[in-house]
Amino acid sequence: MKNKPIVDKANNSTLGVPHARRRMMAYFQFSLIAMVFVLVFGIIYAVSLKKEQKNKIDYSSAELIQFELPSDDTPVVVYETDKGTFKAVLFPEQAPEYCEYYKGLVESGYYDGTYVFAVQEGVYFMAGAKNSDGIDDDNTDKSEHDPEKSKDLWPFYGAVAGYGNKKSLFDPTIQAGSRDLFIGTIDFTDELKEQLDSASDNEKLNNAFKEKGGVPNFSQQYTIFAQVYDGFDAYEQLLRAAVVNKGDENGKNADIRPTESLRFTKVYLSTYGENKNDEFFSVTKSSQEEQ
């Protein structure tokens, strides 16, 4: 009986029992910890699922307000850069908290002298950092804001989004901070157009992406708060700026810092009435026919 407990007759005890009991207690403690982890992750998953359902976007009712003619009093941000000047209209009704925060930074002169610190050729550039490598320092505004997502704001070419860190280890939601993501476009191949059509029944929205350009994969991922409408020569130069290392065909080992210093020399607020470009604000014919 190899596993039979040893009986200590002198002390009237079974020597194997305390050892077995310790093993049982250790197993019980481990099981309890595992149960707690399962419970915690279950709660987190349930909360995330509920939040996802609450924030689910109805694509069918999306409007193309980024291409609607603004009123003269619509706020505009003017970006003077090393490559020229471009301008963007703000959407304070759709992203009120972030627009208020952003306007405060602009009015304080925060963005004057900040850097473009990352460029994915043609697809996007990132800017608003106090250092050319994008690393924080003591002068960096580290505020983070919950994302404000609207069914009427989409990552078309020229859209501007607030960019920050993930909310937490268990919540991958991207916050909106002082840095910004300036969106370019991907190449809309025939295959990609078919995928776009199969992903959404909103032909008006799909056609706008095909005709205006943009990055559909960014949809509802960031706080889009502005749309560039003027100065695309300068904007395109920033989107096409040379980088340290593009990496391989999959982008592996890439270093997408610009090879030259690219700055926002001056950023200030104005209005559309003072910076008109009505030509931009028209959706192309096929998109209009879907409205």
Query: What is the per-residue pLDDT for 244?
Result: 95
129 token code pair:
């950092």
Average pLDDT of the residues in 198-223: 92
Mean pLDDT of 4-21: 52
For 8-42, the DSSP string reads: ETTTTEETHHHHHHHHHHHHHHHHHHHHHHHHHHH
- Band of residue 20 on the pLDDT scale cut at 50, 70, 90: low
* DSSP three-state, residue 65: helix
Is residue 45 scored above 60 in pLDDT? Answer: no
Which one, of 288, 282, 272, 218, lies nearest residue 70 by Cα? Answer: 272
Spatial separation of the C-alpha atoms in residues 16 and 35, rounded to whole Å: 29
Question: Which pair of tokens denotes residue 45?
Answer: 């998953």
Average pLDDT value for the chain: 85
CATH architecture for segment(s) 59-290: Beta Barrel (2.40)
Q: How confident is the model at residue 291 (pLDDT cuts 50, 70, 90)?
A: very low
pLDDT at 11 > cutoff 60: no
Q: Residue 205 has what pLDDT? A: 92
**Domain range list for the chain:** 13-54, 59-290
pLDDT above 80 (res 226): yes
How far apart (Å, rounded) are the C-alpha atoms in residues 69 and 7?
92
Residue type present at position 183: I
Q: Would you say the C-alpha torsion 137, 138, 140, 145 has a positive or negative sign?
A: positive
More confident residue, 50 or 243: 243
Residue 169 banded pLDDT, cuts 50, 70, 90: confident
Tokens representing residue 52 in the block: 């996802």
pLDDT at 54: 47
Pick from 29-38, 41-50, 128-137 the range whose average pLDDT is largest.
Answer: 128-137
140: nearest Cα among 116, 161, 110, 181: 110
Query: pLDDT digits over 105-117, tens only?
Result: 999 999 999 999 9
Stronger pLDDT, 23 or 125, i.e. the higher one:
125
Q: What is the mean pLDDT of residues 3-30?
A: 55
